[in-house]
Structure 1
């Protein structure tokens, strides 16, 4: 195994400088910057958050966002060390020296890779969990948190194992492997979306029929008005894990589910809950679930096409230094994971921009379905206070992480509707 190359020291130095720069930006830019025209209105966080909550939100948001921005170069560093410090090639040689079948070698190698990344990420994950507990967002016990992480690890491993096994089989056969892989991924993606509500979600949380029959009937009546084929509303026990508020409609075809968190039932009025559900139904009516599936299929096509160009070039450029001889070597797996992470980070601003448009459209639809803005402002205010989220996040945070319009934007839209400035 090669000695540690100079790039490792340089990368660590880069990571420290980057983390400090991001931390300074987030600390000085966070804190609910409020335009003069918004100050004193219902969209001003100083109106509906206490001074203590304002300070907690500033600190919690800055630290949480810092963890997000640091997590990507942290992950890249893990893969780079695996590749250029000889670990990736060393693991392959050990397995090749055994009598294990090739398929078992592949599964074991991927397990080593996933376990290494999982352990290397623990400091960031533990920090995020401790931060959430400290500020009263998370209520989850350590055993429960560890169980969720173990379940997530298992699901991710099996999913990646299935995808990677097919990918390597196609790589060995050559030709337009990326196009064949994309065609195979389409039904696999749709299958995962179908089983998510009925197979995967119940592994993490307990689902039951909504505990309030009258509210369920009102929600189902709203669903009928929106032409959504639903005959029950699910309640999920989230209070054992969080104080945040949420609801959603997910699944496709027969796996469709309308779901309310029990924290939402406890903290919001009936009118606020109906507004949330009307918003979620908007996603269904406007076929955002189908568009999401289509977007996943289209983005995977671009991803595989780019991969078919970048991966061979990377192996030609750095294969000798990383000990990679062929595209289907086991030691190419960390390189593939590195490229996937880089492309995912680069694509996140586009994905978030599309998501914000869809979320705003669902807001508009929800208000029209209810036919009233009553409770809308307080609903958004409660969403902000329950999660200590930033009401008006800094530009960099919005660009890379915001999948929804800011709470300030959403409240201002409601006020514009109330003032008759919107149709």
Structure 2
């Protein structure tokens, strides 16, 4: 066995076993606490609501076993199983230009992965979400959205892919730096056009009409020094009963968006507190910091790819013969297929960084709105979204970008008393 093959298989086994172990821990922990509401929430959340959240979370986690099995099987089929070799050989019979061949290879692999994932996604939407009263989608709407996402991916992704592959082919040993610049530019453009060009493809956005709420929000925005292109309500209830709020965009395209489901469940003071939390992300420069972090990591990954694509063992160890590599596209595809296997154990670091930002945004909301009102809003959202109050701590450390409910509420209560 090739040395890198053994390393890859070892990393894959560790990742799969760790993810399986974490999911099993999570289910067992939630079920162990299913029959009793945590003391801090017992006066506000009924036992049947707590049990619904436990059952909903366990159902989603169990489906994760299937997703993991499908992901792992597909990865092994594409690499050591010879799937990428077969795709490359198929396109070689039709396409001779290395750049066009490389694009066909990557696009066809991406489409195959998307098709394989559809049954799991469909089951999640029309069985689990339906069973717990969240799904509002029809099968027709589901597949229309799927077609829209594919079309959008083609419209935006194909030019980007062509540009990256062209840079890899033409810019010499430092192609990875030029590709990084192109990647940064692409992301900033998408961030800028998302609110006005991309999001409306999937949802309807209407200006906020509640005069009292609008005035309250505008006062908060003036207090926080936040300028946006408008306050909008999104028809989230067309697809789901889940509620949320966010601000999006970049520069002059910034806008604040409320799910209509959120507005129907929270009162004015609670909505103000939730918005103050979102504004806290802006005022504490979290968006800029996350963009900078993403760009820094992408530079490191592209540099690593620049090194690996020159190493025959990288291809051979993953089941691809060097002689069959038609272009740099194979290196790019292999790298992004196997990278999650080697980086999974570092995931808690990203979660920890995100949680730090959430705590900072909560403090900003407590300082500029009201900690008690944010607590009330969060508890309503936990109830309405069936978010478990008792996640397994280790599972949460790997997967949850937000702090566990008990920890978050405890910090807000401490802020309210200070």
Q: TM-score, normalised by structure 1?
A: 0.85
Shift of 1:148: 2.1
Shift of 1:339: 2.8
The structure-2 alpha-carbon separation of the partners of 1:70 and 1:178, relative to structure 1 and needing over 3 Å to count, comes to: farther
Instruction: Answer yes or no: is 1:79 the counterpart of 2:75.
Output: yes
The structure-2 alpha-carbon separation of the partners of 1:103 and 1:179, relative to structure 1 and needing over 3 Å to count, comes to: closer
| Inter-partner Cα distance in structure 2 for 1:136 and 1:314 | 52
Segments of 5+ residues of structure 2 without an aligned counterpart are 1-9
- 3-state SS, counterpart of residue 393 of structure 1: coil
Is 2:50–2:389's contact at 8 Å kept on the other side of the alignment? no
Root mean square deviation of aligned Cα: 3.2
Instruction: Report 1:386-397 matches (<5 A).
Output: 386-397=384-395
The structure-2 alpha-carbon separation of the partners of 1:286 and 1:219, relative to structure 1 and needing over 3 Å to count, comes to: same
Shift of 1:159: 4.2
Is 2:372–2:412's contact at 8 Å kept on the other side of the alignment? no
Instruction: Answer yes or no: is 1:28 the counterpart of 2:28.
Output: yes
The structure-2 alpha-carbon separation of the partners of 1:78 and 1:99, relative to structure 1 and needing over 3 Å to count, comes to: closer
Q: In structure 1, what is the equivalent of residue 128 of structure 2?
A: 131
| 1:172 counterpart (166, 169, 183) | 169
Q: In structure 2, what is the equivalent of residue 7 of structure 1?
A: none
Greater CA drift, 101-110 or 46-55 = 101-110
- 3-state SS, counterpart of residue 202 of structure 1: helix
Q: In structure 2, what is the equivalent of residue 5 of structure 1?
A: none
> Could you report, residue by residue, the CA deviation over 1:226-284 in whole angstroms, capped at 9, with x for unpaired residues?
11113631110101111112111121101100111100110111111010111111111
The structure-2 alpha-carbon separation of the partners of 1:113 and 1:12, relative to structure 1 and needing over 3 Å to count, comes to: same
Instruction: Answer yes or no: is 1:285 the counterpart of 2:283.
Output: yes
> Could you report, residue by residue, the CA deviation over 1:200-251 in whole angstroms, capped at 9, with x for unpaired residues?
2111111010131221121111101111113631110101111112111121
| Inter-partner Cα distance in structure 2 for 1:14 and 1:297 | 28
> Could you report, residue by residue, the CA deviation over 1:106-153 in whole angstroms, capped at 9, with x for unpaired residues?
443333212210111123212221211211122222222222222223
| 2:141 counterpart (141, 144, 164) | 144
- 3-state SS, counterpart of residue 260 of structure 1: strand
| 1:254 counterpart (249, 252, 257) | 252
| Inter-partner Cα distance in structure 2 for 1:339 and 1:320 | 9
Is 1:377–1:411's contact at 8 Å kept on the other side of the alignment? yes
Instruction: Answer yes or no: is 1:341 the counterpart of 2:352.
Output: no
- 3-state SS, counterpart of residue 25 of structure 1: helix
Is 1:11–1:77's contact at 8 Å kept on the other side of the alignment? no
Shift of 1:80: 2.4
Greater CA drift, 84-93 or 233-242 = 84-93
> Could you report, residue by residue, the CA deviation over 1:62-110 in whole angstroms, capped at 9, with x for unpaired residues?
2323444763563243132023333322222222222575554444333
Q: In structure 1, what is the equivalent of residue 319 of structure 2?
A: 321
| 1:191 counterpart (180, 186, 189) | 189
Higher RCO by CA contacts (8 Å cutoff, separation 6 or greater): 2
| Inter-partner Cα distance in structure 1 for 2:285 and 2:43 | 36
The structure-2 alpha-carbon separation of the partners of 1:275 and 1:316, relative to structure 1 and needing over 3 Å to count, comes to: closer
- 3-state SS, counterpart of residue 165 of structure 1: helix
The structure-2 alpha-carbon separation of the partners of 1:347 and 1:157, relative to structure 1 and needing over 3 Å to count, comes to: farther
Q: In structure 1, what is the equivalent of residue 159 of structure 2?
A: 162
Q: In structure 1, what is the equivalent of residue 3 of structure 2?
A: none
Is 1:237–1:261's contact at 8 Å kept on the other side of the alignment? yes
Q: In structure 1, what is the equivalent of residue 403 of structure 2?
A: 405
| Inter-partner Cα distance in structure 2 for 1:314 and 1:208 | 55
Q: In structure 2, what is the equivalent of residue 6 of structure 1?
A: none
| Inter-partner Cα distance in structure 1 for 2:229 and 2:190 | 23
| Inter-partner Cα distance in structure 2 for 1:160 and 1:342 | 24
Is 2:234–2:257's contact at 8 Å kept on the other side of the alignment? yes
- 3-state SS, counterpart of residue 322 of structure 1: coil
| Inter-partner Cα distance in structure 1 for 2:356 and 2:72 | 30
